[in-house]
Amino acid sequence: MRVVIVGAGQAGAALAAKLRGLGHEGKIVLLGDEPAPPYQRPPLSKAYLMGEMSADRLWLRAPEFWVENRIDLHLGQPVSDLDPRGKTVTVGGQTIPYDALALATGSAPRRLPAAMGGGLAGVFTVRTLADVDAMRAEFQPGRRLIIVGGGYIGLEAAAVAAKLGLDVTVLEMAPRILQRVACPETSDHVRALHHAHGVRVMEATGLDHLTGAARVTGAVLSDGRQLPADFVIVGVGVTPNTALAEAAGLTIDNGIWTDALGRTSDPAIWAAGDCASFPWGAGRLRLESVGNAIDMAEAVAGNMLGANAPYQASPWFWSDQYDLKLQIAGLNLGYDRVITRASGDSTSFWYYQGATLLAVDAMNDPRAYMVGKRLIEAGRSPSPDAVRDAPDLKALLTA
């Protein structure tokens, strides 16, 4: 079986490696539109941007891994066409046949429209190695940075900028930062941390447009106020890369639709990672995380080889800001109660829906994260009182 994988990010790389690990002997072709070999993205907005990590330390595998495992890397050119009927993809004018195809096309950052100044020089997004390379020279002490969007990417960039001595303002249109992904308690904790480091966090504040002729010079807010800026980072979320799948006639449903095995509406085509939505409870889910990219890709690799094992997502996430390590287990969708545990510098918030434990946000509290993750994965829900009052959280695992 000749396998072609479109997308050489975390999911694509994991899928290729897992196929070989499971004993697949057929040809594997891994296609990436970036010139760099498969690399990890989370350090881009943290250690790499800070200059604490070199590019070669981002690589997911040593260069010889791909050669030794007979995985053909084609980098630096996007796939221009997918022909499901002929079972081929076209890249750089070359037509490549497949027996099985995996789409691991990831997601792309939302950008400001040109009418709002999104096309001005000095306006950046944080997604690729090239994105960060383009903005690194901007991070000089005393320069004024406006970050549009109070999600994790924007806040991580704000932390780096503040540590490097920049004047940083975060604009968040919603009533609070992290509103889409976290409870008010987590938002309060993270906001206080940024305030303590001199970052201005302006919530319930929209952007009307950026100013400047060729290069950005500032921002006009929705209430008419104006702020000066030397450069701007836009962190307002991502959208799944589905254009190739959509043009090929595959079903799209908040990403590329897959069944529980990771197979798309075409039986010879699979999908994994940020670009894919899969069954979850009574509905569907699309996860944007390293954990899901790896886990789903490896599940799909097994199913491409006949495992026939439905993908069981076990969501986990993390964010590093200043000296805060935030670890998240589970999904807080539909929570109606939050239980707080705090001891010294360690704090955790436990999300419940009725009596069911849904998720845990653990801040500098690896034990809370570990216990919460194991409980959620086992489908166990200690009572909220037990969580709040337990002298030792580990006891909840054996209760």
CATH code for the domain of 156:
3.50.50.60
pTM of the model: 0.95
Task: Please tell me the predicted confidence (pLDDT) of residue 174.
Answer: 97
Query: Which strands form 71-75's sheet, in the order they lie side by side?
Result: 71-75, 28-32, 3-6, 100-103, 269-271
> 201 and 130: one domain?
yes
Task: Please tell me the predicted confidence (pLDDT) of residue 399.
Answer: 78
Q: Could you give the 3-state DSSP secondary structure of residue 7?
A: coil
Query: Which strands form 276-280's sheet, in the order they lie side by side?
Result: 256-257, 276-280, 283-285
Which of left, alpha, beta for 144 (phi over 0: left; psi -120 to 50: alpha)?
Answer: beta
Residues 6+ apart with CB under 8 A from 224: 208
**Rounded to 5°, angle at Cα 283 from 278 and 284:** 25
Pairing of strands 3-6, 100-103: parallel
- The one-letter code for the residue type at 154 is G
CB atoms under 10 Å from CB of 103, counted, come to 31
318 located within any domain: no
Q: Point out the domain boundary residue: 199, 234, 269.
A: 234
Which of left, alpha, beta for 90 (phi over 0: left; psi -120 to 50: alpha)?
Answer: beta
- How far apart are the C-alpha atoms of 55 and 128, rounded to whole Å? 12
311 located within any domain: no
- How far apart are the C-alpha atoms of 17 and 137, rounded to whole Å? 35
Mean pLDDT of 332-336: 96
Structurally, how many domains does the chain consist of?
Answer: 3
Give the CATH number of the domain where residue 340 resides: 3.30.390.30
With 90 as the cut, is the pLDDT of residue 200 above it? yes
89 within 8 A of 81, measured Cβ to Cβ: yes
> 259 and 283: one domain?
yes
> 83 and 181: one domain?
no
- Residue-wise pLDDT for 351-387, tens only, equals 999 999 999 999 999 999 999 999 999 999 999 999 9
Q: Point out the domain boundary residue: 304, 338, 357.
A: 304
- How far apart are the C-alpha atoms of 219 and 208, rounded to whole Å? 8
CA 363 to chain centre: 19
- Residue-wise pLDDT for 82-116, tens only, equals 999 999 999 999 999 999 999 999 999 999 999 99
Spell out a b/e string for 6-38, using b for 16 or more CB atoms within 10 Å of the CB, else e.
bbbbbbbbbbbbbbbeeebeebbbbbbbbeebb
Query: What sign for the dihedral angle of Cα 96, 101, 107, 112?
Result: positive
> 167 and 192: one domain?
yes
Task: Please tell me the predicted confidence (pLDDT) of residue 39.
Answer: 97
Domain of residue 59: give its range: 3-108+239-304
Q: Point out the domain boundary residue: 276, 304, 332.
A: 304
Helix, strand, coil percentages, rounded to 5, for the chain: 30, 30, 40
258 located within any domain: yes
Q: Where are the alpha helices (DSSP H) in 137-248?
A: 152-163, 184-196, 243-247
- How far apart are the C-alpha atoms of 338 and 347, rounded to whole Å? 13
Q: What are phi and psi of 219, to 5 degrees?
A: -140, 140
Mean pLDDT of 143-152: 97
- How far apart are the C-alpha atoms of 305 and 26, rounded to whole Å? 11
- How far apart are the C-alpha atoms of 228 and 194, rounded to whole Å? 20
Q: What are phi and psi of 287, to 5 degrees?
A: -110, 135
- Residue-wise pLDDT for 119-142, tens only, equals 999 999 999 999 999 999 999 999
Task: Please tell me the predicted confidence (pLDDT) of residue 332.
Answer: 96
